[in-house]
Structure 1
Amino acid sequence: MTKSRLFCLLVVLGSVFMILFIIVYWDNVGTASYNLHTSFSKSLPPQSSGKQPTTFPTTEDSHASDIDRFLDGFLNSATTKNDLQSTKALNVPLRASNSLEENVRGYDWSTRTKLEGSFDQEFMQQERKLNLRRFCTNSRFSFPTKYRMFDDIPNKELDHLIVDDRHGIIYCYVPKVACTNWKRILIVLSESLLDKKGVPYQDPLLIPREDVHNTSSHLTFNKFWRRYGKFSRHMMKIKLKKYTKFIFVRDPFVRLISAFRSKFELENEDFYRSFAIPILTRFSNRTNVPTSASEAFSIGAIPSFSEFIQYLLDARTEEQRPFNEHWRQVYRLCHPCQIDYDFIGKLETLDEDATQLLSQLNIDSLFQFPPSYRNRTASSWEDDWFAKIPLEWRQKLYQLYEPDFVLFGYPKPENLLNV
């Protein structure tokens, strides 16, 4: 071996050793030396700047770890560059954010006042987290994936964990639980999306709904492999250890009703083709099922709630594909027994919980949580919608969603499960 080759080999080995040393060192460093939640500038960026700002955090205002930036540059600089260019291209026009769904569902646009009772909020959070840990460790209460280790969770099942490195936040979004507005807030905080003037959005409600749910608008755990390669799982663990992790949940049966209303009672071509056609083909008495949503809605050929429940209970459904995220169980979306969440919010107490969480993240002075939907109470929803569902189906449906009821402290709906 020549001296030049030996020298190159030593350089490579030295670089690998330094990477491993930094990872091991940083993994053992605490977070007491810096505040993860103060980097969001209270002064708005200038609107008249001719230079288009980057959509990714800069060194000056980012609290991403040193090893994060080091690996970004050393391992995947080309990928980061491509991501930056693609994100800069998202110069979406400013337009009204309320879509047909939002108009149908209704918003409460009343001005909110800051709620008191932080002591009660702290106590409630302790109770929710204690309940979750109690049943995650209770050997008598079992459900699929409960005892799976974090390393055993496939990357494709980590796509609901949104990461904001600028403020040290990880949010696991659950569809039909105010996730649109929480995603809007994460976009504003992470500055991951530009408006038509080429500057990051500053008002969550100005972000168009279709861009909110575009996967390119968020950095999620399942994208880590593109940045960190074989170090991706280790980087996830570092961020899970150091960042503030939160989740919002909802009564499981009421969430199902909300999912049915928004995805089957509103004309949606993608959902009609992917889900309504199979439901109508299997469970309706129609000999000819319309091939398009427009045709189906024109003649009233849409699935009933009863047919939707049959679809959920049918073993063939999961055999063909996993539940869609809008009705997939929360324990399958957010892995609450593998991830130690710092804050558990509920839609039933959204105003109070959102106020507390924004304060906990030190961003409550920047904006309030956007308006929430005007909904009837959970009890009236369940009584009305499940009245015509056979008792046996209700009982099987509860078994299907029991982990979500138990883990997040929702009472068993005895009125629906007994004769």
Structure 2
Amino acid sequence: MTKTHYFRLWVVLGSVFTIFLIIVYWDNVGTAHFYLHTSFSRPHPPGVLPTTGQEEEKDVLSDVDEFLDKLLGFSLKPRGPSRKRIEQPLARGSSKPVVDNMEESVRGYDWSTHDTVRSPDQEKLQAERRNVLREFCANSSLSFPTKERSFDDIPNYELNHLIVDDRHGIIYCYVPKVACTNWKRVMIVLSESLLDRGTPYRDPLDIPREHVHNSSTHLTFNKFWRRYGKFSRHLMKIKLKKYTKFLFVRDPFVRLISAFRSKFELENEEFYKKFAVPMLKLYSNHSSLPTSVSEAFGAGLKVSFPDFIQYLLDPRTEKLAPFNEHWRQVYRLCHPCQIDYDFVGKLETLDEDAAQLLRLLKVDKLLHFPPSYRNRTASSWEEDWFAKIPLFWRQQLYKLYEADFVLFGYPKPENLLRD
């Protein structure tokens, strides 16, 4: 080999060794340069949280990218606009969201404020929820698919519900039909990932729904591979160890009712073509169906709740594709036995839990959780909705969602599972 070849080899080996040292260092010091300030997660160094989003983050390396840039002198970030915050020229200054989406209008939003009183038992309640989750993840008496796998075994595409805010050290796993629209709005405000005329949004209610659910708005774990390559999984583990992780859950059967109502009782072109048409053909014996949802609704052709339940129980369903996120089990969306969540909120206690979480994150001075709507899908409706569902189907459905019931402390609906 020539001297040039030897020199290039030593440069490559030196770079690899340098990156290795950085990873070891990062494991040891964690996010010491971050202003992670939560009081209930792993120990974090004290820092200063800006009282407004306009203050400069001085001498703070707020991202792994910047940390690596500074040490190596080059960037692991992809070139181009992908790291820029998304600009959306939208109207600002409203005190309420623009409720131009039929789904939000139909659900019956209550935009009045609700006073939240902090209960001395809230911390105890959180500890109980986390303990139940950890106990059953470690308990061999509860068995369900994916329980025993490690975090490394989770495919990258299954990590797309974990939203990361590097500015405040927060990871949120969103569960559709559990106030995820408003929690995504909160994450956008905190991470400043969406701009309006060059200015980050400050009020979650100003962010239109269609931009909230745009996947390009959020940094999620499944995007790490494109940014960090082979180091992505390692960096995920670091952030899972150092950041505060939370999710919100809901009674599994009530969540199914809510998913059915919003996706099949309202005109939704995407869900009609992808799900309703096959259901109507398979379970309602319709051979010829309109091409559009408006025509179908006009002709009185709608998926029934029994059709939907039969679809969930049909073994052919998941042979074709995994459950849609709106009815996929929470344990498959958020991997609670592989990720040690610091906070488990519930839709049933949304106002109290949201207020408590924002206080514990020490961002309650920056924003407030949007006033909750009183969803018309109530737990008391379960008996009415399941009245026409055969007992055997109900029992099979419970088995399908049993892990969500048990892991998150929801009582077994005995009244629905016996004659």
> Which one of 37, 51, 55 corresponds to residue 42 of structure 1?
51
Give the equivalent residue in structure 2 for 1:82. Answer: 81
Instruction: Answer whether contact 2:34 2:61 (CA < 8 A) is retained.
Output: no
Mean Cα deviation higher: 21-30 or 213-222: 21-30
CA–CA separation in structure 2 for the residues paired with 1:228 and 1:140: 39
| TM-score of the two chains, using structure 1 as the length reference | 0.91
Residue 32 of structure 1 and its aligned partner are, at CA, apart by: 6.8
Equivalent-residue separation in structure 1 for 2:201 and 2:392 (angstroms): 49
Query: Which amino acid in structure 2 is aligned with residue 83 of structure 1?
Result: S
Residues 150-203 of structure 1: per-residue CA shift (max 9 Å, x gap): 1010000000000000000000000000000000000011111111x2211111
Aligned to 2:285: 285
2:44 aligns to what? none
Cα separation, 2, equivalents of 1:272 and 1:72: 51
Question: 2: distance between equivalents of 1:264 and 1:321?
Answer: 19
Unaligned runs of 5+ in 2: 38-46
Query: In percent, how many aligned pairs have the same letter?
Result: 67
Distance of aligned partners of 1:310 and 1:61 in 2 relative to their CA distance in 1, 3 Å threshold: same
TM-superposed deviation, 1:34: 5.7
Partner of 1:399: 399
Question: In 1, Cα distance between the equivalents of 2:122 and 2:363?
Answer: 17
TM-score (norm 2): 0.91
Describe the SS at the equivalent of 1:373. coil
- Give the conservation status (yes or no) of the 8 Å contact 2:162–2:171: yes
DSSP 3-state at the match of 1:389 = coil
Letter in structure 2 aligned against 1:210: E
- Residues 22, 67 of structure 1: 8 Å contact kept: no
SS at match of 1:166: coil
Residue in 2 aligned with 1:137?
138
Instruction: Answer yes or no: is the 8 Å Cα contact 1:39–1:167 preserved in 2.
Output: no
In the TM superposition, residue 390 of structure 1 has moved relative to its aligned partner by 0.9
Residue in 2 that maps onto 1:6: 6
Structure 1 residues 108, 40: CA separation in 2 closer, same or farther (over 3 Å shift)? Answer: farther
Aligned mates of 1:150, 1:97 — CA distance in 2: 39
1:172 alignment partner in structure 2: 173
Give 1:116's aligned amino acid.
R
Q: Would you say how many aligned residue pairs link Structure 1 and Structure 2? A: 405
Match of 1:199 in 2: 199
Report the Cα distance in structure 2 between the residues aligned to 1:298 and 1:71, rounded to whole angstroms. Answer: 63
CA distance in 2, matches of 1:72, 1:107: 51
Equivalences for residues 8-407 of structure 1 within 5 A: 8-30=8-30, 35-37=35-37, 41-43=50-52, 45=54, 63-65=62-64, 67=67, 74=74, 76-77=76-77, 79-84=78-83, 87-94=85-92, 96-98=97-99, 99-117=101-119, 119-195=120-196, 197-376=197-376, 378-407=378-407
Q: Does the Cα contact within 8 Å between 1:159 and 1:220 map onto a contact in 2? A: yes
Where structure 1 has 5 or more consecutive residues not aligned to the other structure, the ranges are: 47-56
- Who is 1:49 aligned against? none
**Contact persistence 1:313–1:397 (CA under 8 A):** yes
Aligned equivalents of 1:115, 1:62: Cα separation in 2: 36
Other structure's SS at 2:324 match = coil
Distance 1:266 1:362 in 2: 38
* Cα distance, 1:355–1:42 mapped onto 2, change above 3 Å: same
**3-state SS of 2:164 partner:** strand
